[in-house]
Amino acid sequence: MRILLTFVLLSIIWSCSLQKNRNNQIEQIKDQLIKKDDIIDGRWPEYTVEGKWKFRKKVNWFSGFTGGELFLMYELTKDEELKRRALIHADSLLNYAGIDYTHDMGFIFLPTCVRAYNETGEEKYKKAALLAAEMLYKRFNTNGNFIRAWGKLGSEKKAGWIIIDTMMNLELLFWTYEVSGDQKYYDVALSHAQTTLKAAIRKDYSSYHVIEFDPETGEVLKKRTHQGFGDESTWARGQAWGVYGFTNSFKRTQDSVFLETAQKMADYYINKLPEDNVPFWDLDLAGEDVLKDASAGAVLASGLFDLAELSNGLLSDKYRNYAKKITQSLLENYTFKSSNRDTEQGLLIHAIYHHHKGWGMDESYPAGDYFFMEALNKYFKLINK
């Protein structure tokens, strides 16, 4: 009896100290996020140089992420100050919902205006998110059944280019279908996912980053990379966008071909993970001299948490375990807390924004921070269950 009581007591003490440790971790990240928000001060961050944020004049795919991180941290801590700050970010984007130069409307408006609408029910956020979705919808090319990635609407340059990243923006179209009931958004999202699957996913379930179509005939002209090591290699973040994006498409359409694609892409990825489970920046590269892209790990982890929910049996366990392992590894060795510089202004370090251009090399950048927060949220919810 005494042994049993001692065991129960020790278990309670151990679990309390674990909980305290988790709370400390969350508090430290929350403080860093607030510090970052103060530094950003209404500007659009791009990536850090020596740990310090560099800014950009124009709204781009990064512009919704800090607001999104604040909402996610609010969800974890219920600290109203975070919500107040997040809503300022959503408000600052209201006038940009009509921009016509990017496919990244989901990256910008899902974490901010859609989220703000869900939190507050205020029409202004819904209106902005619906307009953003309309601008994305307008980028659909009916000759090739794809959403063009880059360039101003109506411009000729790169009119036929798609990238695997767009899979993540489809969620805005699916959401719009759900709230408006207008089938056209669903159809375009479904069609783009089918085109991406056919053109950008290889037989072994690795992926191309960019596909160039003839915008008039819809014929494939070239398969290539933009941010990966080579045309035939697999860019780590691109493959993560694929895992997460096809998971979302399955969740929304229930078409099992998307589930199978997400699972096989995840399996391909898992086989390429190094010992600490954080990927090198391209899945065809490895070794001591090759940089990691912690942001690819964060996107993958967040996507795997969702994929685990949609998969059955052993596969579900496998994806959940990897999602946890990657998140733990990021938490232990890839945040500002592990840095040997005292200048870090981001959350997740050792990410790469754009290797060929030398932008944000082994630094922080907004997508890395945001998807790290997403993975962290899912991780803490799971282990606190």
Q: Which residues bind ligand GLY (CB under 6 A)?
A: 61, 165, 227, 237
Q: Which of residues 60 and 120 has its CB atom nearest to ligand GLY in the complex?
A: 60
Q: Let me know: does 286 contact 280? Beta carbons within 8 Å.
A: yes
Active-site residue, 267 included? no
Phi, psi (degrees; rounded to nearest 5) at 354: -145, 100
Q: 137: Cβ–Cβ under 8 A, 6 or more apart, which residues?
A: 173, 176, 184, 185, 188
Catalytic residue among 37, 79, 91, 165: 165
According to DSSP, the residues that pair with 354 across neighbouring strands are 359
SS3 38: helix
Catalytic residue among 37, 104, 282, 306: 104
Tell me which residue of 264, 263, 205, 265 sits closest to 240, measured CA to CA.
265
Residue that is written with structure tokens 């919902």 in the block? 97
- Can you spell out the DSSP letters for 164-221? GGGGGTHHHHHHHHHHH--HHHHHHHHHHHHHHHHHHB-TTS-B-SEEEE-TTT--EE
Return the H-helix or E-strand segment holding 361: strand 359-363
Q: Which of residues 237 and 252 has its CB atom nearest to ligand GLY in the complex?
A: 237
Positive or negative torsion for Cα 285, 287, 290, 292: positive
> Residue with the closest Cβ to ligand GLY?
165
- Shortest distance in whole angstroms from residue 81 CB to ligand GLY: 30
CA distance 311 to 330: 24
Q: Which of residues 61 and 305 has its CB atom nearest to ligand GLY in the complex?
A: 61
Q: Let me know: does 253 contact 191? Beta carbons within 8 Å.
A: no
- Shortest distance in whole angstroms from residue 163 CB to ligand GLY: 7
Active-site residue, 37 included? no
Q: Let me know: does 152 contact 101? Beta carbons within 8 Å.
A: yes
CA distance 284 to 253: 32
- Shortest distance in whole angstroms from residue 218 CB to ligand GLY: 23
Tell me which residue of 156, 182, 150, 153 sits closest to 169, measured CA to CA.
150
Q: Which of residues 42 and 358 has its CB atom nearest to ligand GLY in the complex?
A: 358
Q: Let me know: does 45 contact 62? Beta carbons within 8 Å.
A: yes
Q: Let me know: does 298 contact 368? Beta carbons within 8 Å.
A: yes
Q: Catalytic amino acids?
A: 104, 165
